[in-house]
Structure 1
Amino acid sequence: MAYWAPGGRALALDVLRSGKAWDLVIVGGGITGAGIYREAVAQGLKTLLIEQKDFAWGTSSRSSKMVHGGLRYLGSGQFSLANDSVKERQNLMDELPGLVEPLPFIMGHYKGVFPGPWVFNKLLAIYDYMAGKRYRQFFKRGILDFLVPGLLTKKLKGVTQFADASTDDARLVLRVLEEGNRDGGVAINYLRAEQVSKDENDRVTGVLLKDQLSAEQFELQANVVINAAGVWTDELRQQLGENKVIRPLRGSHLVLPQWRLPVAYSVSFFHPKDKRPVFAFPWEGVTVVGTTDLDHKQSSRDESSISAGEVAYLLAAVNQQFPNSLISESDVIATYSGVRPVVSKHSSKQEADLSKPAKPSDEKREHVVWDNRGMVSVAGGKLTTYRLIALDVLQTAARYLNRKPEDFKSSTHFPETDHVMASAHINAPQIRRLKGRYGFGAERIVELVDRKPELADKVLTSDTIFAELVYACETQLVVHLDDLMLRRTRLGLVLPKGGEAVLTRVKAHCLEALGWDEPRWDQEASRYQRIISAHYSLPVEEAKKEERVV
């Protein structure tokens, strides 16, 4: 963990300068790269992970926060993906209570709308069989007011309850990375892979990196380069003469105060316009509505943002399903958009075929692995199955590592943290939450609170306590304020205006724990507020006008 403490990043860069040869260099610090990192380190491999932005900066902090079997995948015939997802969902719930928690779903059945209760129950029977446990239950209309107050009742026949799970996606990435760090791996953020190195036979032998903070470059040697860069996967593949395969699909969400749309379940329903599934679900003390599914045509270099059309689309959906709620733009406290690195159906053909794509929602979500002469690339897949994806990648890379594919047949488990006990200032449910999110780090958070009981205070209306901010600054490789507010914690998503009201107290912790001075804080606060305004808020009027023109 020393490399993630204040000043530790400089020590990690010293390791790169030393000329150390690596077994693997992993490009990409989202959930896919993190999963590969942890499994490789557990096998005793000398492993470096680099991320051009912050860990989980991309899709892995902007998902629908669900660890789920993917009922839609079962409905579309993707049985293998659904089966793997259901089993991994159960494993993660068992191993990470407090981070991956059960989330009940409710699906309303309306007269004349497919699927009806009978068909849906048959589908769920397969779902429950895969899970090895029965979750499904049908309720008649009369009990609806107790389950989901305010739900559309016109032509309603009844509702079906089933189960999946939810998580804090960014914290899941960090938890996985921390386990790899504990076992001796090196993970560094704000370090970009500029170019792969090749020998005279065009075999990849390493990678050229550039520090995004200092512009210093590092040329590293590795037995294999793992390209897990998400929507940027094609950039390195094209350096080897490969065609584009990634179809970036954007999914956007609205974040509402829970009191404006109080749901205790994830309510699943179909959009009145295109019949796509939409969800309204509880998360971290707020209600999230999502998601959209459309081609992301902006540059991958730019941070994604919700469009005015997507805002209108989601508001239309939620107001149709909850007709008395009258949700409007004025109720929205935050937005977020992630770009899915989906492998197009046409990826096995020529690049020109991507100009005639299928509908976004028709694209398969399975992951694909490519072996390109010393660089193994991976894209697609789901957050839920990240461990299975990691094993698949390492089995493909085994021949470069003097290993056998069967060496990577089973994934590592998260260690138990039962020794972390509640203190006088933190109750048992809070301890459960901290253990899930931080693992052994929960012990340090308890120590911080025992020394300064005021650190047990919750940050405004969130579930986050101030000790988590201090811990993140001390041990989580925070480089910028947005790292702290949007990914180490989720305060920027669940508090109005990105948590503007609490920044004064956050400032005190940053100055003390990170060693920032007043000018640095002012610079970071300005940067953070620009990010919140441009990428986590409703579109500004100018952007709306541009969209109408386009």
Structure 2
Amino acid sequence: MTESIRAKLSPAFSFETRKQVLESLSNESFELVIVGGGIIGAACARDASLRGIKTLLVEKDDFASGTSSGSSKLIHGGIRYLKNFEFSLVYTAIRERERLESLYAPFVRKMDFVFPTYEKVYPPRWMLNLGLGVYDSFTYFKERHRNLSRNKTMIDFPQLRSENLSGSMVYTDSFAEDYRLVIEVIKSAHKHGAQCINQVAASFFEEHTGGYTVGLHDSWDQKDYKVKTKFVLNCSGPFSDQVRALLQIKPSLHLTQGVHFIVLRDAVPLDKAFVLSDPDHDRILFAIPWNGITYLGTTDTNINDPAKARATKADLDYILTMFKKYFTYQISPDDVLQSWAAVRPLIQPLDSESNSKISREHLIEERPHRFFHVLGGKLTSHREIAEESIDKIARKMGIRKSCQTASLPLQDEPYRGGGDTHLERTFGLYSADVRTYDEERKLERKRITSTHPHLVSEVIYSCHHEMAMSPLDFLRRRSSLYYEKPGKDLVPAIADIMRRELNYSDLELDREINKALKSYEWDMEGFHS
């Protein structure tokens, strides 16, 4: 293993950290064990650690490996929820969005959205204008949407189909690379004392006086551990019912799958995000520019097993059909580079209703004693959900220290840069540490590939400060490269960098390369079959 340098800001958070945590478990007991390393589990670990609660977080795969890296990547109020009269949900989400834009800069950044309207297509222009007026009011009119006429819309957005076009609305929400949020929140939790490890699953729970013994299985080295804790918090997202099954609790979730497809930006050269209405299925879709690609989605179909989420040919046919209803671009299935699919953990409704009408609200319940579950929720509300969850647990513990995450910047200090460079947008204040690795290793800003700005030093930094354990971890959950061309062709080069940093054995190297390649195949095969 190449010895890592001492970075200026980022604490060590690597495979060595993981090894140390696992080796110490037999001598440790915790106040709180969190199961699940998505955005809500990460936020709960951060909140708890800032209150001085001794916390262990375990994730059975990699951090952000589930829903938290497969969303539409939006921090938004949820304009469509106004139709269901969920005003409280929208108001709270907008207020939280504004908070995250400040505290999570530069990872959460504003984005303009264009919502075209057409005659005899829901919603009519007048209704959308009224709804966005409500949206504006929830920002206390710091933001105001623009109501564009048919002619102005045709001038500004000539890529839209003009037949029956009545106009468009342009409004502001926010964008975030969801996986980067998870990684940064996890890093903050670790920095403030939480012990967070990936590739470790909770295998059983034994209740005893004063808490639980939690069984843990390390899938990397195939070893088993036990740890004692006073409280357990289940933040497993769409896998929450599987954790609850270990406690003989019946399922509580209604799972739906959302799919996105990726095309090259050259094929769909958008400079703003577009919102597309599908009244026949009571949903909206997005076309969003991101780096060198544009992604199209999403769907909302039922799924039973969250581990089997992936795009299908039917999904692709549907998305492309909807896209062609609105845009003049000529794209075909051959233009699709890749896809991603994620599962929404919705709370099972009492009555049968369409997926789009099922509330995105969350539920926090204690069942059994000292064992809490977070069910449902959205990316936008993750910090608030964590605050509510840790409030409940802290009261049970007799801890009076209040939540700090509503005012503390994600990287502890305010980000005052412009977020203008790739490194700043990806790492914020810690971009200085990536540059330090580049200088100390004399890499001279060497890129992983000439077609993208990602540096070799980013891989090195992710190994030592973001617990990246494999090429797939870096490609898919530390960077955007998984979704861009040349995609899987980068696997061997990244594996070679990580081999040197992590001291892979030949067996581990082959295993992790094959794992990454199989991930690409899985995501492609579904909609090409």
**For residues 540 and 142 of structure 1, do their structure 2 counterparts lie closer, same or farther at Cα, with a shift above 3 Å needed?**
closer
Q: 2:318 maps to which residue?
A: 313
Higher mean C-alpha displacement, 142-151 vs 119-128: 142-151
Is 1:213 matched with 2:220?
yes
Q: 1:513 maps to which residue?
A: 501
Question: Alpha-carbon deviation of 1:194?
Answer: 1.1
Pairs within 5 Å for 1:445-456: 445-451=434-440, 452=442, 454-455=444-445
Q: 1:539 maps to which residue?
A: 526
The 8 Å contact of residues 448 and 493 in structure 2, kept in 1 or not, is answered as: no
**Any idea what SS the aligned residue of 1:129 has?**
helix
**Any idea what SS the aligned residue of 1:455 has?**
coil
Pairs within 5 Å for 1:86-125: 86-125=94-133
The 8 Å contact of residues 70 and 82 in structure 1, kept in 2 or not, is answered as: yes
Q: Partners in 2 of 1:377 and 1:243 — Cα distance?
A: 13
Question: Alpha-carbon deviation of 1:94?
Answer: 1.7
**For residues 410 and 525 of structure 1, do their structure 2 counterparts lie closer, same or farther at Cα, with a shift above 3 Å needed?**
closer
Q: Partners in 1 of 2:96 and 2:358 — Cα distance?
A: 22
**For residues 333 and 108 of structure 1, do their structure 2 counterparts lie closer, same or farther at Cα, with a shift above 3 Å needed?**
same
**Any idea what SS the aligned residue of 2:109 has?**
strand
Pairs within 5 Å for 1:175-190: 175-190=184-199
**For residues 114 and 420 of structure 1, do their structure 2 counterparts lie closer, same or farther at Cα, with a shift above 3 Å needed?**
closer
Q: 1:429 maps to which residue?
A: 420
Is 1:258 matched with 2:261?
no
Question: Alpha-carbon deviation of 1:440?
Answer: 4.1
The 8 Å contact of residues 309 and 342 in structure 2, kept in 1 or not, is answered as: yes
Is 1:527 matched with 2:515?
yes
Q: 1:349 maps to which residue?
A: none
Which AA in structure 2 matches 1:135?
R
Pairs within 5 Å for 1:264-279: 264-271=271-278, 273-279=280-286
Q: Partners in 1 of 2:111 and 2:330 — Cα distance?
A: 25
Question: Alpha-carbon deviation of 1:35?
Answer: 0.6
Higher mean C-alpha displacement, 25-34 vs 135-144: 135-144
**Any idea what SS the aligned residue of 2:144 has?**
coil
Q: TM-score, normalised by structure 1?
A: 0.88
Q: TM-score, normalised by structure 2?
A: 0.91
* Structure 1 residue corresponding to 2:427, chosen from 423, 438, 441: 438
Is 1:152 matched with 2:161?
yes
* Structure 1 residue corresponding to 2:382, chosen from 358, 374, 386: 386
Q: 1:15 maps to which residue?
A: 24
The 8 Å contact of residues 420 and 443 in structure 1, kept in 2 or not, is answered as: no
- Alignment coverage as a number of residue pairs: 516
Higher mean C-alpha displacement, 261-270 vs 38-47: 261-270
Q: 2:32 maps to which residue?
A: 24
Q: Partners in 2 of 1:450 and 1:142 — Cα distance?
A: 53
Q: Partners in 1 of 2:474 and 2:41 — Cα distance?
A: 21
Instruction: Give a deviation string over 1:252-299, Cα, whole Å, max 9, x none.
Output: 0001101111111111112375352111111232101000001013x3
Higher mean C-alpha displacement, 361-370 vs 464-473: 464-473
Question: Alpha-carbon deviation of 1:418?
Answer: 6.7
Q: 1:53 maps to which residue?
A: 61
Instruction: Give a deviation string over 1:153-194, Cα, whole Å, max 9, x none.
Output: 111111110010111100100000111111111100011111
Which AA in structure 2 matches 1:247?
H
Q: Partners in 1 of 2:143 and 2:419 — Cα distance?
A: 28
Instruction: Give a deviation string over 1:412-469, Cα, whole Å, max 9, x none.
Output: 5224657999xxxxx9721xx5345334422211212334354354744445333222
Is 1:33 matched with 2:41?
yes
**For residues 252 and 170 of structure 1, do their structure 2 counterparts lie closer, same or farther at Cα, with a shift above 3 Å needed?**
same
Instruction: Give a deviation string over 1:309-332, Cα, whole Å, max 9, x none.
Output: 11111111111211x322111101
* Structure 1 residue corresponding to 2:476, chosen from 465, 469, 486: 486
Q: 1:362 maps to which residue?
A: 357
**Any idea what SS the aligned residue of 1:7 has?**
helix
Which AA in structure 1 matches 2:420?
P
Runs of 4+ in 1 over 6 A off after TM superposition: 418-421
Q: Partners in 1 of 2:179 and 2:112 — Cα distance?
A: 22
Q: 2:366 maps to which residue?
A: 371
Q: Partners in 2 of 1:95 and 1:28 — Cα distance?
A: 23
Q: Partners in 2 of 1:342 and 1:418 — Cα distance?
A: 34
Which AA in structure 1 matches 2:493?
R
Q: Partners in 1 of 2:258 and 2:419 — Cα distance?
A: 35
Q: Partners in 2 of 1:235 and 1:120 — Cα distance?
A: 40
